[in-house]
Structure formats: structure tokens, C-alpha cells
């Protein structure tokens, strides 16, 4: 899969957002443009900044595609949002917030994630999240995208600071909690992760109402399904999700999730990505030669 697939999930009425998903093949990430159908005001969510882990080079192909979509659809961006600090790709949050001159946001408990990673990187004064994000959302915070109300749900498990954006009448961006029904659920073995917490978060999401469209943060096409997917209703998940359908058992799922996670390698971008994403996608400060450097801990993982 090499194509940057783009797909539109249309609004079903004034209280229902238009959602465009844009798939990033190198990372298996789904990025989202969410817009009020009445005002055409929009939020950009979990947008990728390109990163080549072989050459440690950044790029803007994914950013350019999202900018082109915004222009083509006549949207006015008013928010740039992240659901959590990603381990498998670099965020474009700060770059896009600067480009559109709008606030960016992420969950308040990302400050706790930053504290964990200061120790891993031995950078005690790094990662002041409040300097890089204009808004740090708490559980149950609300704001608007155009006329659409948005409610923030704290959804820990994959990370301790992950949040879900519940938008309008029938939409939730659930990041790396659920995968598509035929893929199950996301890993929760990163620092601060918890299978028990992820189970609780998923149950809260699945209680939002069966017609709610859930948009997940990743998909990994393979020989069984070559087309990337990122949208399903709660009814679809309750009926078909291979891990957490309506008859799933909590203790069995936790045991299975923890056993599976113990076999998974670190994402190949993770140790570079976290120290950039905790700066909202800004690179570490340039050194006296004008270049930026990341710090990679040895023998810690």
C-alpha cells in the first residue's frame, strides 16, 4: 500500500460533521479534517509530519495533502488537534497551527507523559507541553468547531493522556483505542499505558450510542484486506469487533491484550517521535551549527 487514500464521510445534517480521512501509508495513520457543514469551519486532527527513519529526515507531503483538501473544500481552519503524543509518527500540530494562525490542543495529562519521558531521555528541563500547545484539555471540557459542539473524553490506556473528541450528534475521534472491527484494539504497553484503563475507556466510547461514527487512528492493510479503513459505527463494533464485541469478557481481553503486547517491537520512529511530539512537532532547539538533534537512549527498552 503506497497510495495516500482520501475518503469523505458526509454530514447527515446540521448537527453532524463532515469528516475527511486521509491515510498515511508509511505509518498506517489515519488523519482527519472535521468540518461544520453549516459554517465550513474545521479542525485538523492527528495530522502527520513526514519522517524517514533511515535518513532521519522530515518532510511535508502529508501536510501538503491536508492543506490542499482544506483549500479545495473551501474550509476555514479554526483548530489543530492531537489526541495524544504519537509513538509512530511525527505530529504536524505546531506547523499547522502557525500556518493557519489558530490554537492547537491536546489532553492535559500529556504533561504527565512528558514527565515520564524526561526521565527516559535524561532531559530534566525539556517538554514543557504548555509552551507548545495553546489548549490542554481536561476530561469533559467543551469547545466548538463552527456550530458543532465538541466534548473531550479522557480515554487513557494506550497512553495515560489520550483523549477522544466527541463531535456533534454522531461522531467520535477515538485515536489509538479501537482499531477497525476486524482488527480489534490498540496496544497499551508504552510507558504509562494500561490494559485495564484501555478496557474502561473503550466501554465509555461504546456507550455513546450505536449510530455514532467512530474514527480510529490506524489501520494496517494486509493480504486479507488491502484497502485501508478507519470508520465504523458503534453498532458495527458491538456486533463485529474481534476483541470487544458486546459479549467480550474484561479479564479475558486484558490477558489477551497484555500477552499480545509483550510480543510487539517498539515502533521504529518512537524514540525520535516522542521528543518531537512532546514539543507539538517542533524540532529540538538548533545547536550552534544550526542543525537539530534528537537524543536516543540506549539499552532502556
Q: Return phi, psi of residue 133, to 5°.
A: -120, 135
Quick: pLDDT tens for 3-61.
689 999 999 999 999 999 999 999 999 999 999 999 999 999 999 999 999 999 999 99
pLDDT band per the 50, 70, 90 thresholds, residue 108: very high
Number of domains in the chain: 1
pLDDT of 183 higher than 70: yes
Contact 166, 151 (CB under 8 A): yes
Largest separation between any pair of C-alpha atoms in the chain: 59
pLDDT of 2 higher than 90: no
pLDDT of amino acid 301 = 87
- The answer to whether residue 300 sits within a structural domain is no
C-alpha grid cell, residue 130: 504548555
pLDDT band per the 50, 70, 90 thresholds, residue 256: very high
72-96: buried (b, 16+ CB within 10 Å) or exposed (e) per residue?
eeebebbbbbbbbbbbbbbbbbbbb
- The answer to whether residue 274 sits within a structural domain is no
- The answer to whether residue 282 sits within a structural domain is no
Q: Look up the CATH number of the domain holding residue 249.
A: 3.60.15.10
Contact 127, 281 (CB under 8 A): no
Strand order in the sheet with 90-91: 57-59, 48-52, 90-91
Residue-averaged pLDDT of the chain: 96
Contact 17, 44 (CB under 8 A): no
pLDDT of amino acid 254 = 98
Q: What's the average model confidence in pLDDT over 256-281?
A: 96
- The answer to whether residue 181 sits within a structural domain is yes
- Of 32, 51, 54, nearest to 43 by C-alpha is 32
108-147: buried (b, 16+ CB within 10 Å) or exposed (e) per residue?
bbbbebbebbbeebeeeebbebeebbbbbbeeebebebbe
- The answer to whether residue 65 sits within a structural domain is yes
Distances (CA, A) of 152 to 164, 165, 166, 167, 170: 6, 5, 6, 9, 14
- The answer to whether residue 276 sits within a structural domain is no
pLDDT of amino acid 145 = 98
pLDDT of 245 higher than 80: yes
C-alpha grid cell, residue 88: 509512530
pLDDT of amino acid 201 = 98
Cα(51)–Cα(60) distance, integer angstroms: 9
C-alpha grid cell, residue 223: 493480504
Contact 160, 112 (CB under 8 A): yes
Q: Which residue segment(s) compose the domain that 21 sits in?
A: 6-267
Quick: pLDDT tens for 201-242.
999 999 999 999 999 999 998 888 889 999 999 999 999 999
- The answer to whether residue 37 sits within a structural domain is yes
The region of weakest confidence among 11-15, 91-95, 132-136, 297-301 is: 297-301
- The answer to whether residue 205 sits within a structural domain is yes
pLDDT of 188 higher than 70: yes
Amino acid at each position: 500500500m503506497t497510495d495516500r487514500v482520501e475518503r469523505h464521510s458526509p454530514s447527515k445534517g446540521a448537527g453532524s460533521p463532515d469528516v475527511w480521512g486521509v491515510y498515511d501509508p508509511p505509518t498506517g495513520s489515519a488523519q482527519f479534517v472535521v468540518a461544520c457543514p453549516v459554517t465550513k469551519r474545521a479542525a485538523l486532527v492527528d495530522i502527520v509530519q513526514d519522517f524517514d527513519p533511515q535518513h532521519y529526515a522530515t518532510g511535508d507531503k502529508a501536510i501538503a495533502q491536508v492543506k490542499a483538501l482544506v483549500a479545495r473544500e473551501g474550509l476555514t481552519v479554526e483548530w489543530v488537534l492531537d489526541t495524544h503524543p504519537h509513538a509512530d509518527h511525527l505530529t504536524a500540530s505546531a506547523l499547522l497551527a502557525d500556518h493557519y494562525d489558530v490554537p492547537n490542543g491536546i489532553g492535559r495529562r500529556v504533561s504527565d507523559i512528558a514527565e515520564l519521558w524526561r526521565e527516559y531521555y535524561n532531559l530534566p528541563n525539556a517538554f514543557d507541553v504548555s509552551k507548545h500547545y495553546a489548549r490542554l484539555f481536561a476530561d469533559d471540557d467543551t469547545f466548538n468547531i463552527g456550530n458543532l459542539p465538541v466534548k473531550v473524553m479522557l480515554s487513557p490506556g494506550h497512553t495515560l493522556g489520550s483523549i477522544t473528541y466527541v463531535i456533534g450528534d454522531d461522531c467520535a475521534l477515538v485515536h489509538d483505542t479501537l482499531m477497525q472491527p476486524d482488527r480489534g484494539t490498540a496496544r497499551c504497553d508504552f510507558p504509562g499505558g494500561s490494559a485495564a484503563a484501555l478496557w474502561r475507556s473503550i466501554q465509555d466510547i461504546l456507550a455513546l450510542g450505536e449510530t455514532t461514527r467512530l474514527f480510529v487512528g490506524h489501520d494496517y492493510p494486509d493480504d486479507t484486506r488491502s484497502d485501508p479503513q478507519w470508520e465504523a459505527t458503534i453498532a458495527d463494533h458491538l456486533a463485529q469487533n474481534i476483541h470487544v464485541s458486546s459479549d467480550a469478557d474484561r479479564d479475558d481481553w486484558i490477558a489477551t491484550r497484555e500477552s499480545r503486547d509483550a510480543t510487539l517491537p517498539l515502533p521504529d520512529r518512537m524514540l525520535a517521535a516522542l521528543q518531537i511530539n512532546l514539543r507539538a512537532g517542533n524540532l529540538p532547539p538548533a545547536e550552534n551549527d544550526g542543525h537539530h538533534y534528537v537524543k536516543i537512549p540506549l539499552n532502556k527498552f
